[in-house]
Chains A and B, each alone.
Chain A
Amino acid sequence: MNGNALIQVRGLKKHYNDGAVRALDGIDTDIKKGEVVVIIGPSGSGKSTFLRSLNLLELPTEGSIVFDGEDIAAKHVNINKHRQKMGMVFQHFNLFPNMTILRNMTIAPTKLLKIPKEEAEKTARDLLKRVGLEDRADAYPSQLSGGQKQRIAIVRALCMKPEVLLFDEPTSALDPEMVGEVLDVMKTLAKTGMTMVVVTHEMGFAREVGSRVIFMADGVIVEEGTPSEIFDSPKSDRLKGFLAKVL
């Protein structure tokens, strides 16, 4: 086993309808500390299913996911403890609409980590400052633009001090002029050494920020490598065809 693998995935399968749909059909990979793994691939290739399996929002049909020395895909695992250390950012933000921005960010740390309210709020305000939204602490999600909501969603996840952040197409629901502000936050985050797994269609981001790019198709990893290996010298025809379409 690789010593610095934060998440070790082996033989991961997810089948629907008794195997009629094989969303994931045997995934093996290690996600190392500090890595920014970017997952690309055509629609329906299983990118979201893979990402959502990592924190068990999807229950694997088969295989193992070792995180913090425990196979979290096994029976009777307290997944809630592990999820506290795996932040997730969704395509549609999923902020809590009935809470202020500050409350969105402090509810989990105060309730789950038992961090005192003042301390949690201070952490939250510091993070808000880092993404340039310190003046929106008392606003409600519906008062924010899409780009602002997604930046809040990112710092909400950070408030739990996670070991890894999972992103499922974080910019796909945004107006084009707001994509940049979210990607900028993610870039900054990557520079601080945060481990990130990012499903995205933003090839520019993948090339610039990714330490490794995984190309998926039909529920399997077809090709993986550094951004330049994937984008400049693709080997498989599937990847060549895909890149021809998206670049």
Chain B
Amino acid sequence: MADWLEKLKSDFILNFVEDNRWMNITRGLKNTVIITIFAAIIGVILGLTVAAIRTTYDKNRETMKKNGGIGYWVMTFLNNVCKIYLSIFRGTPVVVQLMIMFYIIFASSTHGVMVAIISFGINSGAYVAEIFRGGIMSIDNGQFEAGRSLGFNYLQTMIFVVLPQVFKNILPTLLNEFIALLKETSVAGYVGVTDLTRGGYIIRGVTFSAFMPLVGIAIIYYVMVMLLTHLVSRIERRLKKSER
């Protein structure tokens, strides 16, 4: 057998098999998946809420101003809160947000994974909000007017007429955001969370061989991303087909 193949094999055994070192990888992978999924859920809930506030404000400002009262001021306040949130979380690096969250806001918490979920979730929400808002704004105003002219109120028009079209349009973009999120969680190790990246990093620290663990986790990320990308393009094709 060729020398390099021998070397590869012993490298593999050293980094993954000996002392059950592979468990660093599986434990990390598990945390990466958990953080990504729950952060995505938080992101969608938060993003949808923020997008709802922002578009409601934009589309009803005139009516609310005319009717006066507290409603207009509440919406103006909420709208500004949303704008500040979007600006801050899209304007600073996610790893800095993560560290502030871990070392300052939740300094007493020992639940690293939980803090990472919250941190990535809030960050993702800012991007998802803009995806939803763009999706809502891209629906022809005639759709709103048709809904309203039939007698639906603003919320009913959103729920029955506009949002189903928005979801269909933005689904691929949204899924791509989650793929980006999956890769972004690789900085979780900065606050001591053992994610996939840190799992590989730990092995490297013990075996002093960088190639096998780092290329190994790269392959795992790559396979996950490719699977999701494949899923997205299949969904995209399905949606195109149903676009009669």
Contacts and interface: CB of A to CB of B under 8 A. Distances in A.
Interface of A: 55, 57, 59, 75-76, 80-81, 83-84, 86-88, 90, 92, 94-98, 107-108, 111-112, 140, 142-143, 156-157, 160
Given A98-B164, A157-B149, 7 more contacts: A80-B153, A83-B151, A94-B145, A96-B146, A96-B165, A111-B160, A142-B244
A196 to B, nearest CB: 15
Given A92-B142, A94-B143, A111-B156, A87 B244 contact: no
Nearest to A104: B146
Contacts of B66: 59, 75
Nearest to A92: B142
B150 interface: yes
B58 interface: no
Contacts of A98: 164-165, 168
A98 to B, nearest CB: 5
A83 B244 contact: no
Contacts of B62: 59
B145 A95 contact: no
Contacts of B205: none
B142 A90 contact: yes
Nearest to B63: A59
Contacts of A143: 244
A112 B243 CA distance: 28
A95 B140 CA distance: 11
B12 interface: no
B183 interface: no
Contacts of B143: 94, 96
Nearest to B142: A94
Contacts of B63: 59
B148 interface: yes
A97 B139 CA distance: 11
B244 A112 contact: no
A50 to B, nearest CB: 15
Interface in B57-95: 62-63, 66-68
A76 to B, nearest CB: 6
B152 interface: yes
Contacts of A88: 145-146, 149
A196 B88 CA distance: 52
A84 B151 CA distance: 4
A75 B68 contact: yes
Nearest to A81: B151
Contacts of A83: 148-151
Q: Which of B63, B151, B165 gathers most chain A CB within 10 Å?
A: B151
Nearest to B141: A94
Contact of B151 (A92, A97, A108): A108
B154 to A, nearest CB: 9
Contact of A95 (B146, B149, B168): B146
B161 interface: yes
A95 B243 CA distance: 15
A160 B151 contact: yes
Contact of A112 (B68, B150, B161, B164): B150
A98 B66 CA distance: 34
Contacts of B153: 80
A55 B165 contact: no
B165 A97 contact: yes
Nearest to B68: A75
A108 B153 CA distance: 11
A150 to B, nearest CB: 13
Contacts of A76: 67
Contacts of A55: 149
21 contacts: A57-B149, A59-B66, A75-B68, A80-B148, A80-B152, A81-B151, A86-B149, A87-B150, A88-B146, A88-B149, A92-B142, A94-B143, A98-B164, A98-B168, A108-B151, A108-B152, A112-B150, A112-B151, A142-B244, A143-B244, A157-B150
